[in-house]
């Protein structure tokens, strides 16, 4: 086979974004994907439950992609290959022990909702203050922290806040969500509306920087809604793949890379498990975890011992569980009919149950009253269910990777593994709790699929132990410390070898940020 300019290992969002940008920039790209389909954690299925129902088995919501730089740059091409986004004015809501609430993209409606909760002024002040810094906040989360642009960002922040203000902003960046919410809002419903969003960046409300993340996501959702591709994430995968192939690139599936070939300290190609070899002229990009890269693909290479040790100690976060339901009708929310039109509803007791559940699962315990993330994709994309029917995308994030016990004292942890019996018992308990809020949940359920940590890892080798974010996102493994405390961003100790993907900055999610940053760097003339 002809040599490629770049070989990309894996075909998740970051790999596809990098592949699309490089291909458009004239590079000949080869993507090697070990699974039978490209997309990684984008896994749309039309066969999981019943005919006529389309489920996102893993990731589902695209605000990070639509709000990110890759979409801005590729939008026209993606649309020409059939990608269409649907959006909503009601991106999120909550039901907790103290009531319910809905956050809208209509500023006046959200302001009125917080007013009803007694927190109108607090919300408006928070949003107003945060909006003044939003460019810096998104800049920090999107910038290549090892490039001169990061210094530019720092200088801009210093100019705006002064030296003392900059130090104070650092403290604000590190504040956990719980004390910030307690200080800012009076209603437990307001707090419960915002606090669970930290989970979607792998954090709990007591973790450092979860306050900042909660503000970022609240603002992003309030301004940008909750877009999803019509027909499912597969449409984004198809459109990105089409950009690559129409520009001369290739995506091969069933192509499990076993080794990165290195000559004179420079990555020169890859070797597959089945013996096939491919050469790369300019770069190899690995969308893998640090352990898979340094302990697997490069295991025969001489590497700095600090890098190897740092990779070995890279930690994974809590596991995810996904429950997919095909429903014969729309869900009927007991206390607040508006919730039927909301994209993502969090169901939880309140801030204390959230904190307890995160902590319990970090320590190996099944929580008593977990936070239930109830996604309703059919509120935006009617094509995902037959007329009049609907689906639910239910996510649980507060699950231990290995079970040591059950705070409710009901499920025997056995050998600690998520076997089918324990998974089903836990999923049934959660669905019973959800049934307290959705009155027709049991009667309307036509079919159900439960994916536990084992199934999730089996679908994508980067989701170690079912960790949906390919690595713990607490601050010591985030920003300049992601993927490794001692690494210089996406660079590796091997020349022409770059690491991308959720294990690297700017972390998990469908933004495609690391693929974007590395591709831009490779395409720029001054990247060395
Ligand atoms: C259950 C779940 C729900 C989520 N929901 C959302 C959501 O709604 N919105 C959102 O923004 N984010 C969500 N996320 C997070 C987001 O989906 C991921 O962070 C993101 O998709 C990861 O992309 P990636 O580029 O790191 O690659 P991945 O999607 O992790 O894909 C990596 C690919 O590389 C392949 N690969 C690995 N090693 C090799 C090898 N040696 N040879 C060949 N191929 C290899 C794998 O098979 C895989 O296909 C969710 C994640 C999960 C798991």
> Residue 322 is part of which domain span?
318-459
Q: How far apart are CA 473 and CA 203, in angstroms?
A: 7
- Domain closes at, from 224, 253, 268: 224
Q: 285 and 325 share a domain?
A: no
The ligand 1 atom nearest the CA atom of 466: 53
Residues 201 and 275 placed together within one structural domain of the fold: no
Q: How many residues appear in the chain? A: 528
Residue ending a domain, among 175, 201, 224, is 224
- CA trace torsion 281, 285, 288, 290 (10° rounding): 90
Same domain, 184 and 102: yes
Probe residue for ligand 1, chosen from 41, 63, 453 as the CB with the greatest number of ligand atoms within 8 Å = 41
Give the count of domains, the chain: 3
Which is nearest to 216 in space by CA: 143, 160, 138?
Answer: 138
Q: Is residue 52 part of a domain?
A: no
Phi, psi of 116 (to 5 degrees): -60, -35
Q: What is the CATH number of the domain that holds 481?
A: 3.50.50.60
Boundary-marking domain end, from 197, 224, 251: 224
CB atoms within 10 A of CB 123: 24
Based on the domain organization, do 267 and 399 belong to the same domain? Answer: no
47: in domain: no
Q: Is 59 in the pocket of ligand 1 (CB under 6 A)?
A: yes
Task: Please report whether residue 54 resides in a domain.
Answer: no
DSSP-derived secondary structure for 190-212: HHHHHGGGGGGGT--TTSTTHHH
Place of tokens 């993209």: 105
Q: Please tell me the distance between residue 508's alpha carbon and the centre of ligand 1 in angstroms.
A: 8
Please check whether residues 96 and 218 belong to one and the same domain: yes
Q: Is 287 in the pocket of ligand 1 (CB under 6 A)?
A: yes
Residue 49 domain-assigned? Answer: no
Q: Which two tokens stand for residue 508?
A: 């998990």
Nearest CA to ligand 1 atom 35: 10
Residues 120, 198: one domain?
A: yes
- The answer to whether the CB of 49 is under 6 A from ligand 1 is no
CA distance 202 to 266: 34
Q: Are residues 101 and 27 in the same domain?
A: no
Each residue's pLDDT, cut to its tens digit, for the chain (528 residues) gives 569 999 999 999 999 999 999 999 999 999 999 999 999 999 999 999 999 999 999 999 999 999 999 999 999 999 999 999 999 999 999 999 999 999 999 999 999 999 999 999 999 999 999 888 888 888 888 888 888 888 888 898 899 889 898 899 899 999 999 999 999 999 999 999 999 999 999 999 999 999 999 999 999 999 999 999 999 999 999 999 999 999 999 999 999 999 999 999 999 999 999 999 999 999 999 999 999 999 999 999 999 999 999 999 999 999 999 999 999 999 999 999 999 999 999 999 999 999 999 999 999 999 999 999 999 999 999 999 999 999 999 999 999 999 999 999 999 999 999 999 999 999 999 999 999 999 999 999 999 999 999 999 999 999 999 999 999 999 999 999 999 988 789 999 999 999 999 999 999 999 999 999 999 999 996 554
Whether residue 155 sits in one domain with residue 37: no
Structural domain contains residue 475: yes
In a domain, 48, yes or no: no
Residue with CA at minimum distance from ligand 1 atom 10 = 509
> Is there a contact between 286 and 500 (Cβ–Cβ < 8 Å)?
yes
Label each residue of 80-143 as H, E or C.
HCCCCEECCCCCEEEEECCEEEEECCCHHHHHHHHHHCCCHHHHHHHHHHHHHHHHHHHHHHHC
**32, 36, 48, 59: residue to mutate for ligand 1 pocket, most atoms within 8 A of CB:** 59
pTM: 0.97
Residue 502: CB within 6 Å of ligand 1?
yes
56 in any annotated domain: no
Give the position of tokens 């649907």. Answer: 86
- Please indicate, yes or no, whether residues 247 and 286 belong to a single structural domain of this protein: yes
Radius of gyration (C-alpha) of the chain in whole angstroms = 23
- What the block records as the tokens of 217 is 């996501």
Q: Determine, yes or no, domain membership for 517.
A: yes
Examine the domain organization and report whether 200 and 239 are in the same domain.
Answer: no
343/447 same-domain check? yes
Smallest CA-to-CA distance from 181 within 211, 154, 143 is with 211
| Distance in angstroms (rounded) separating the CA atoms of residues 13 and 235 | 12
Shared domain for 476 and 445, answered yes or no, is no
User: Does the Cβ of 60 fall within 6 Å of ligand 1?
Assistant: yes
């Amino acid at each position: 086979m002809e040599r490629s300019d770049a070989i990309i290992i894996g075909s998740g969002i970051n790999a596809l974004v990098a592949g699309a940008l490089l291909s458009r920039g004239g590079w000949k790209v080869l993507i090697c994907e070990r699974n039978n389909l490209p997309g990684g954690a984008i896994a749309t299925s039309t066969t999981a439950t019943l005919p006529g129902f389309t489920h996102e088995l893993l990731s589902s919501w695209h605000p990070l992609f639509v709000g990110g730089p890759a979409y801005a740059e590729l939008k026209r091409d993606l649309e020409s290959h059939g990608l269409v986004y649907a959006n909503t004015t009601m991106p999120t809501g909550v039901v907790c022990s103290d009531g319910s609430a809905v956050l809208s993209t209509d500023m006046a409606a959200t302001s009125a909702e917080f007013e009803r909760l007694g927190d109108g002024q607090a919300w408006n002040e928070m949003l107003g203050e945060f909006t003044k810094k939003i460019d810096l906040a998104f800049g920090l989360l999107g910038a290549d922290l090892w490039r001169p642009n990061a210094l530019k960002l720092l200088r801009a922040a210093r100019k705006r806040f002064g030296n003392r203000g900059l130090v104070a902003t650092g403290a604000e960046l590190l504040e956990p969500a719980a004390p910030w919410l307690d200080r800012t809002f009076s209603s437990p419903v307001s707090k419960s509306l915002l606090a669970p969003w930290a989970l979607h960046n792998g954090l709990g409300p007591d973790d450092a920087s979860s306050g900042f993340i909660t503000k970022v996501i609240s603002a992003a959702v309030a301004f940008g809604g909750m877009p999803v591709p019509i027909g499912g994430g597969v449409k984004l995968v198809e459109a990105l793949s089409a950009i690559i192939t129409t520009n001369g690139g290739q995506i091969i599936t069933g192509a499990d890379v076993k080794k990165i070939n290195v000559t004179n300290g420079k990555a020169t190609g890859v070797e597959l498990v089945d013996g096939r070899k491919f050469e790369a002229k300019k770069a190899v990009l690995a969308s893998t975890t640090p352990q898979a890269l340094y302990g697997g693909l490069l295991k025969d290479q001489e590497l700095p011992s600090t890098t190897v040790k740092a990779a070995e100690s890279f930690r994974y976060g809590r596991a995810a569980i996904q429950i997919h339901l095909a429903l014969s009708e729309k869900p009927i929310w007991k206390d607040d009919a508006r919730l039927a039109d909301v994209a993502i509803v969090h169901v939880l007791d309140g801030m204390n149950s959230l904190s307890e559940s995160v902590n319990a699962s970090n320590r190996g315990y099944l929580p008593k009253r977990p936070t239930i993330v109830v996604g309703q994709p059919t509120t935006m994309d009617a094509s995902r269910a037959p007329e009049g029917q609907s689906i639910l995308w239910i996510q649980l994030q507060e699950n231990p990777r290995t079970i040591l016990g059950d705070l409710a004292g009901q499920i025997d942890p056995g050998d600690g593994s998520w076997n089918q019996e324990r998974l089903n018992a836990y999923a049934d308990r959660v669905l019973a709790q959800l049934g307290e809020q959705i009155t027709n949940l049991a009667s309307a359920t036509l079919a159900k699929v439960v994916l536990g940590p084992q199934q999730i890892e089996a679908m994508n080798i980067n989701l170690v132990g079912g960790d949906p974010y390919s690595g713990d996102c607490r601050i010591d493994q985030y920003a300049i410390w992601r993927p490794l405390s001692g690494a210089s961003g996406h660079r590796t100790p091997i020349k022409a070898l770059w690491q991308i993907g959720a294990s690297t900055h700017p972390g998990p999610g469908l933004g495609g940020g690391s693929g974007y940053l590395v591709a831009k760097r490779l395409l720029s003339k001054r990247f060395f």
